[in-house]
Each structure stands twice: as C-alpha cells, then as structure tokens.
Chain A
Amino acid sequence: MTAIDVQSVTRRFGSFTAVDNVDLTVEPGEVVGLVGANGAGKTTLIRMILGLLAPTTGTLAVLGSAPSRELRRRIGYVPQNLGLYRDLTTVENLEFRAAAFGGSPAPSPYTDDGLIGALPLGLQRRAAFVAATQHDPDVLVLDEPTSGVSPLARSKLWNLIRERAEAGTAVLVSTHYMDEAEQADRLVLMSRGRVAGTGAIADIIGDVGAVEVTAPRWQEAFDLLDGSGPPVTLAGRAIRVLGADVAAVEMALAQAGVVAEVRSVAATLDETMVLLDS
C-alpha cells in the first residue's frame, strides 16, 4: 500500500491557492525529497499530510485512510524548530512524547541529560529524531532535518534516516539544500503551489542551463553582467549567468572589452528553483 497518496489536492485560503492540483506519492521504504522556494506550498502540503489542514478538493490518504488523530500515532514528524521542550531534559522529552504517543520511551542517544535547550544543536537534532521515531512510525515527515550541523553530523543523521527507510518507513523530507536533496531517492519540486518537476536531480534540472564565465579578473566581468537581466551568481571565481544565452553573454563581454572564457553548463538544483520563480 502506498504510504502517502496525494491525488489532485488543492488547498485554498480565501482567494489564494496555496496548493494547486498536486499529486505526490511515497512508498514504504522510499525517501522522497520535497523541494521548492518559500511560498511553493510545501508547508501547506505537509500540514495536510499530518492532518492539521483539510484539502479544499482532491483526495489525500496516509497509510490507506484520510489523516486523523488516530492515524497521527503512526506518523513521526520533526519540524524545522525540532518540537522539543527546551526546559525539559532529553530523557523527560522522550518520556513525555512516549506518554502522548503510547509505547515506552527510547533511551537517550547520548549521556548528557541537562536541559535540552542548552545542548549543542547536533545533539538536539538527534534527540528530535529519536523522539519522532521511538513509537516506530510507518511514515516519517522531516523538515530540513540536518540544518546547521557539520558535514559529518549530517552524514550520521542521514545514516539514521536511511536505516529507517530500509526498515520500511516511508520518509518525506522537505529541504532547501542540495546537500540534503542528494540523499533522497526521488525529488518532487514545487513552485507556486504546483508540482514543477519530479525525479532525480538531473531529471528536475532537465535542460535548464547557465553560462559560466571565467575571467582573469572576475570582479570586472561580474560588475558588467550583474544587472544585465538574467540572475547572476558566483561559483568559486567563475560567474554563472542563469538561463542566459552564450552568444548574448559573449557579445556583452566583447562590447565592454572584457576578456573572458564563456561556456554553457547545466544549472544546479537551486539555480533551477530560482529560474522557476523569476
């Protein structure tokens, strides 16, 4: 059975359509990444999956039935702000959550049992993950689960997430970052309430491109190209002009007498998101 099954779901707030005819599925054992800019509708969609909001139209099933309070016991959720009680210790947080969800609390993932709000963020993130998974949920919803931690700590958190998926849990991860999006089996890109692309990162980027400009003095080329129309950004000392045409960039550089090498490159995932929204 499909763990999360969203079919033609629309959610309106007054005259504003936050989620517009969206389809999304997550199978057991699958890690699906939900990406998109602010206002894309990710949060509204997650709130509907958690049963906190009802769709205006369309059908939404989690583990085969409409989201409900009873069903919430089979879902684990780690919000962006972690959802921990900062004035309780880690053990108290886990005990409280176990009492609310049923079952017994998992052991703390570390020895320090001071107030959780005073612990390093990496430990808090691990505690939040344990708190959300100790009732052995079939569906796990994570909002930027590794924000602010080191590359090694991030890889360890993803190890825990991957272990859950391998045990059969369906995982939906909302993120803004490539480092996290690369960990998903499949991505769903939302833009302005709609699904704008699905698949691997390469599928989503498709043929969206950028023009990369390398100049002995990148600052000079940047000054020239920034404000010329298309969004301009940097990668190391190379300038990237998003969605631009090689010939147009070459001409702009030549007219200003700026010596540079110009070539066409694929866009990155976040550059693709920027172009979609511009």
Chain B
Amino acid sequence: MTWGATDLTVTYGETAALSAVTVECVPGEILAVVGGDGAGKSTLLKALAGIGVLHQGTLTLPARGLTGYVPSEGGIYRDLTINEHLDFVSNAYGLSDWRARAADLLARTDLADFSDRLAGKLSGGQRRKLGAAMALLPRPELLVLDEVTTGVDPVSRMGLWRLIAGAAAEGAAVVFATSYLDEAERAGTVLLLHDGRVLAAGSPAEVAAAMPGTVTESDQRGAPERSWPRGRRWRDWDPNGVRTGERVSLEDAAIVAELIATGEAS
C-alpha cells in the first residue's frame, strides 16, 4: 500500500499554504521535501501525519496508530526521562513487548547511556534523536519527520540518518523535510516545494536532469538576476543554453526552479 496525497490544497484564511500538491510515499523508500521557511513543508507533513489539517483533495494514510511523527519543534517533555518518554509512547499506542525494540532504538541513537536523564538536560541533537526513537517505537508504516536534522551537528545527524534508513529498510514509507540539498540527496526521491506548490519531483538525478538550460561556472559574475556565488566563483544560468552531457547539481536545479517560480530571472 502506498500512502500520500492527491491534489492537496490547504488554505489559511486568504493564504494558500498548499496548492494541488500530489505526493506518493512508498513503503521502503525515503522522500525528501525540500523548501525554505514558508514553502509549505510543515503543512504538508502535518497533513501526512494525519493531524486534522482542513484540506481539499485526497489523503491516503495508514490506520490510526500506524503513523510516526516528529514535529519541527517540541514533542518532548523536559521533565521526563528518556525511559519515561518511551514508556509514555508505549502506553499511548497500547504496545506490548516494546522493551527490546526500545533498547535497540536507544542503542542505535547512542542514547542508551542517558536513559535516566531528563529530556531537558539533553543536547538538541539528543532530543531530536529521542523524538525519532519515540516515533519509531510503534513500528509505523508511515514515518513523518519535520526538519529533524536542522541545527543538529554532523555526528547526531548521521545517527538520525541511520534510524531513518533503518525504518525504511524495515518497510516504512519515510518522508522528511529539509532545507539542505546535500541532505536531500540522501533520499531516493526529492520533492521541491515553493509557496505551497511542487516545483519538481523525482530522484535527485531526475530533478537535476529536468532543469532547463545550462549552468556554467566562471570567475566573472553574470547577470545579477541569474547568477549566484560558489566560493570565489560564480554560477550562471542560461535559460536557453543547450546541455551536452555535463552533470547538473541538485542545488543548481533547485535554485533555477525557484528563480523560474518567482519570475525573478525573466
């Protein structure tokens, strides 16, 4: 069974947070939703997590209790220990036989040595890993992670990645939001979101290949509305350029997609 949304539109007052977004979450696969602040990532992820978001369109979601969700902020009780959090989740989901899985999740996240520590005393990265471990405890069919790796250092981030990949290997459909393309490239499928609309979707290679025109690098800055820095050099997009096999990076494709969507390059 595949989860996801078809033609999902969500409106807050006059503002469309999502406009006709279609997304497929396939068991055993990882989907990265990429966009900046205000792109609609959190709204989409809340809808996929089955949190009552008023919407038009169709959501296809697992049965209640079979979705794991880590919000972009919060979800952790500062005055409970790590063990108490997992105990709480097991009660809320009515789990039996969960202790071995909890121990495994804590070992994978390097949290086992801190299991009696109050969550308020954990580092930011440890709190995010605890959130992910809680979401994974009930063996969800759909795992929804909202910017769990933002502001997290590379070592904790790798720990989170190990959990995410492990969940997909177990057969969960995983969807996570990020604003970083180096991270999105770790997913099998990427969805670029801007102003509530899907700009591009597919494997990282497919999204890059679909970019119109060429991006070249030089020491000279090109037209200001179509060029951006990369170190001391400049990347310059030519909408009419013809590619002859050179590789386009996902970052180039994402910047160009946003330039087209905002009309800035015209």
Cα–Cα, bound, A278→B153 (Å)? 14
**A236 close to B182 (CB less than 8 A):** no
Which of A37, A147, A151, A162 touches B251 (beta carbons < 8 Å)? A151
Cα–Cα, bound, A71→B254 (Å)? 40
Using CB atoms, name the residue of chain B closest to A151. B254
**B194 close to A233 (CB less than 8 A):** no
Q: Does A57 contact B (CB under 8 A)?
A: no
Listed in ascending order, the chain A residues whose CB lies under 8 Å from chain B are 31, 37-38, 80, 120-122, 144, 147-156, 158-159, 162, 176-179, 182-185, 218-220, 222-223, 226, 231-237, 239, 268, 270-271, 273-274, 277-278
User: Would A234 and B161 be within 8 Å (CB), given that A151-B181, A219-B168 are in contact?
Assistant: yes
User: Would A144 and B151 be within 8 Å (CB), given that A150-B179, A152-B255 are in contact?
Assistant: yes
Which of A121, A178, A179, A226 touches B37 (beta carbons < 8 Å)? A121
Can you list 24 pairs linking A and B with CB atoms under 8 Å apart? A37-B155, A38-B156, A122-B36, A148-B37, A148-B179, A150-B179, A151-B36, A151-B181, A151-B255, A152-B255, A152-B258, A155-B228, A155-B255, A158-B229, A178-B182, A185-B231, A231-B158, A232-B165, A233-B162, A234-B165, A234-B168, A273-B155, A274-B154, A277-B155
Using CB atoms, name the residue of chain B closest to A201. B231
Q: Does B6 contact A (CB under 8 A)?
A: no
**B38 close to A177 (CB less than 8 A):** no
Which of A80, A220, A234, A270 touches B30 (beta carbons < 8 Å)? A234
Residues of A within 8 A of B182 (CB): 177-179, 268, 270
Which of B181, B188, B228 touches A156 (beta carbons < 8 Å)? B228
Closest chain-B Cβ to A210's Cβ sits at a distance in Å of 12
Cα–Cα, bound, A182→B231 (Å)? 6
Chain B 167-190 near chain A by CB (<8 Å), digits 1 or 0? 011110000000111110111100
Residue of B123, B164, B165 with most partner-chain A CB within 10 A? B165
Residues of A within 8 A of B258 (CB): 150-152
Which of B187, B188, B203, B231 touches A184 (beta carbons < 8 Å)? B231
Closest chain-B Cβ to A112's Cβ sits at a distance in Å of 13
Chain B residues 120-157 with CB under 8 Å of chain A are 123, 125, 147, 150-157
Q: Does B204 contact A (CB under 8 A)?
A: yes
**B188 close to A237 (CB less than 8 A):** yes
Residues of B within 8 A of A152 (CB): 36, 254-255, 258-259, 262
Cα–Cα, bound, A222→B251 (Å)? 27
Residues of A within 8 A of B262 (CB): 152
The 10 closest A-B pairs by CB, nearest first: A150-B36, A152-B258, A155-B228, A121-B37, A178-B182, A219-B169, A38-B153, A270-B154, A151-B254, A273-B154
Cα–Cα, bound, A222→B154 (Å)? 20
User: Would A270 and B188 be within 8 Å (CB), given that A158-B229, A159-B228 are in contact?
Assistant: no
Residues of B within 8 A of A185 (CB): 231-232
Which of B36, B154, B205, B229 touches A183 (beta carbons < 8 Å)? B229
Closest chain-A Cβ to B209's Cβ sits at a distance in Å of 14
**A159 close to B204 (CB less than 8 A):** no
User: Would A120 and B155 be within 8 Å (CB), given that A219-B171, A234-B186 are in contact?
Assistant: no
Cα–Cα, bound, A158→B38 (Å)? 20
Residues of B within 8 A of A234 (CB): 30, 161, 164-165, 168, 186
